[in-house]
Each structure stands twice: as C-alpha cells, then as structure tokens.
Amino acid sequence: MLTTLLRPTAGSAEIFGFSVKNQANEVRRIVGVVPQEYTADEDLTGADNIMLTAHLYGIRNNTAKTRAAELLELVGLREAADRKVSTYSGGMRRRLELACGLINRPRLLFLDEPTLGLDVQTRTAVWDYIRTLKEEYEITLFMTTHYLEEADSLCDRIAIIDRGRIVKIGTPVELKAGIGGDVIEISIKEGATDITELISRTEGVTDVKRNGSNYRVKAPVGEEAAPAIIDAIRAKGFHVSRISLSKPSMDQVYLEYTGKEMRDENVDSTQMMSQRLTMRRARS
C-alpha cells in the first residue's frame, strides 16, 4: 500500500506529505522499491536493466547513463555491467535490484526481504551496501526482514509485527532494554520439583518462568545474579545440570512480545511459489 501497488482498504498514509491514495503518482516519483522477487530481465545485461528502469521513470538518456555508471560502481557490478543477467549469481542479482531501485534518486527506498535466500558472505556484503546508503546518501530506508540480527544491525527503529498488527515499536536498544535485562537459563536434575519461588526470592532476580525442569530467569545484571541463584539452589539440596547467561537479543525481544516461537505463517500457493522461485535463483 505504501508503494501504491495496492489501494488502502481503510485509513490513510502519507509519504513526505503526499497521500498514497490520492497522490500516487507523486509518491512513485520520490520512492524506490527493491522487491523480494528478482525482477530484472535475464535476457538483458545489467547495465541495460538499469537503463530500462531509468526510462520508465522518464529520466533523460545522458543523465541515466551517468547514474547507471555510478550505481554499478556502488554495488560492485562495473565489471559485470555488459553481461546478461542470466549469468549472474544470486548475490549479483540482488545488488542489481538495489541499483535499479536507486536510479531515480529516491528520498525513500523500500527493501522487501533484501537478503532472502543469500548465503552468509553475500548477505554481509549486501548489509555493507545498505549501510553505505544510510551513511553517505540522504535516503530513508524502509525494510522488511525475518532476519532479526539484520534488523538489529541495520535499523534505527524496529516495529515487531505479529499476525498483521504492530505489537511493539522502538529503537533496538529500547526494545532490548524493555524485556527486563539479562536472561539466565537454568536446568535442574530434580525436574518434578518446582523451585520457581526459591529462585524468585534470590537477590537481583526480577522474573522467573518455568518449563519443566528448565527455568528462564531475568536479572538486570546476570553476572551477579547467576552465582547467587546457584548458591540458593544448592543450599536446598537441588542440583544444577545446566546454566547459561545471555544478553538481550532481538530474538528474545520477538519471543517476549509475541509470546510464541518462530513459526511459518499461512501463505497462499502463489506466494509460496514466488518465494521458492526467489530462493532457487538466489542459490544459483
């Protein structure tokens, strides 16, 4: 809806003062889109794809050539500019999509799952390009992703969406601080015995949740609370079989505010086929 491809069913939204419903053409002139699916024409070269996108925006030929050369340099495709896209790897295709999305010098760039299906090395390279856009170009980036470490690393503000609704929004620091400090996970050998009350009375502990013989404990300073918890458990004759301490992560933030494990959402067959095609191309 924000990219004007779908008409809003209710409510309103504006991008830099333009209504996505009533001023769609004005919105399209100032935004760029890097879709989840690969959209480049495989029978054209990388440079030709960028020029085609420029012409669709009505950019004059000389200006388009100059911008295309700059963008190919930016995303590291200058040497492959005259090769057909059908010969590109998944990472090269993703970088080309990024270049096409920037050809109109957008004020706002939408990135839909920009690293879907990419290997770790290529994903890291794409992250570097995105950071460059943030630091060197005056562009607002609006990104959707299922990689929580990607959101944590790249985003200044994160909205957690569960079943189509925003359940929490804030900076990465705010979101992680909001779940109550460090997380200590403890398991005891005496699984049938509930020691939740024992742990909760330990100094420095703010919350305890039990799952069988496993306990998830929150504490502002985990390094101080963990030894005290162990001492309290041993003093009552129980035996610790496992203990771990972790600082808040976006994974834990997600679980905290959605109250459930990562899960596959229901998708229709068309969307599923599109996702599979994207991932097959990325791996090629």
Last residue of a domain, one of 146, 172, 203: 146
pLDDT in tens, 57-72: 999 999 999 999 999 9
Q: Is pLDDT at 11 greater than 80 in this prediction?
A: yes
Q: Nearest Cα to 129, choosing from 90, 91, 86, 82?
A: 91
Q: Give the whole-angstrom CA distance, residue 277 versus residue 274.
A: 5
Could you tell me if 26 and 139 lie in one domain?
yes
C-alpha distances out from residue 125 to 12, 74, 114, 135, Å: 36, 12, 11, 15
240 domain-assigned: yes
Structure tokens at 104: 């109109």
Assess if residue 173 is contained within a domain. Answer: no
Instruction: Determine the average pLDDT of the residues in 159-174.
Output: 92
Q: What is the CATH number of the domain that holds 242?
A: 3.30.70.100
Evaluate if residue 265 carries a pLDDT over 60. no
The per-residue b/e assignment along 75-97, b for 16 or more CB within 10 angstroms, e otherwise, is bebeebbeeebeebbbbbbbbbb
Structural Rg of the chain based on CA atoms:
24
Query: 129 and 232, same structural domain?
Result: no
Residues 85 and 139 in one domain: yes
Instruction: Report yes or no on 70 lying in a domain.
Output: yes
Are residues 127 and 185 both part of a single domain? no
Domain that holds residue 24: 14-146
Torsion, CA 240, CA 246, CA 247, CA 252, rounded to 10: -100
Per-residue pLDDT tens digits for 101-129:
999 999 999 999 988 878 888 888 888 88
Mean pLDDT, to the nearest integer, of 205-215?
A: 90
CB 86 within 8 A of CB 117: no
Residues 211-220, mean pLDDT to the nearest whole number:
89
Residue in this structure with the two tokens 């929150």, named with its chain if needed: 218
Given 89, 121, 146, the domain boundary residue is: 146
Same domain, 18 and 134: yes
In the chain, where do the E strands start and end?
14-15, 18-19, 31-34, 108-112, 140-144, 158-162, 165-170, 182-188, 207-211, 214-219, 240-246
Q: List the one residue out of 154, 104, 158, 93 whose CA is nearest residue 129.
A: 154
Q: Do 19 and 99 reside in the same domain of the chain? A: yes
Mean pLDDT over 187-202 rounds to: 91
State residue 269's pLDDT score. 56
Distance, CA of 101 to CA of 109 (rounded, Å): 7
The pLDDT of residue 283 is above 70? no
Asked if residue 120 belongs to a domain, the reply is yes
Whether the per-residue pLDDT at 279 is higher than 80: the answer is: no
DSSP 251: H
Q: Is the pTM of this model over 0.85?
A: no
Pair 88, 37 in one domain: yes
27 plus 104 within the same structural domain: yes
Are both 100 and 217 inside the same structural domain?
no
Task: Please tell me whether residues 30 and 86 are part of one structural domain.
Answer: yes
Per-residue tokens: 183:
């997380």
Of the listed ranges 50-54, 204-208, 233-237, 267-271, the one predicted with least confidence = 267-271
Name residue, tokens 């097959």: 280
User: 142 with 46, same domain?
Assistant: yes
Question: The domain that contains 36 carries what CATH number?
Answer: 3.40.50.300
Task: Tell me whether residue 32 is in a domain.
Answer: yes
Which pair of tokens denotes residue 76? 């590291």
**Based on the domain organization, do 49 and 126 belong to the same domain?**
yes
Distance CA 196, CA 279 (A): 45
Query: Does 91 fall in a domain?
Result: yes
Residue 165 lies in a domain: no
The count of structural domains within the chain is 2
Give me 85's structure tokens.
Answer: 């896209």
Domain-located, residue 255: no
Q: Give the C-alpha separation, 131 to 143, whole Å.
A: 12
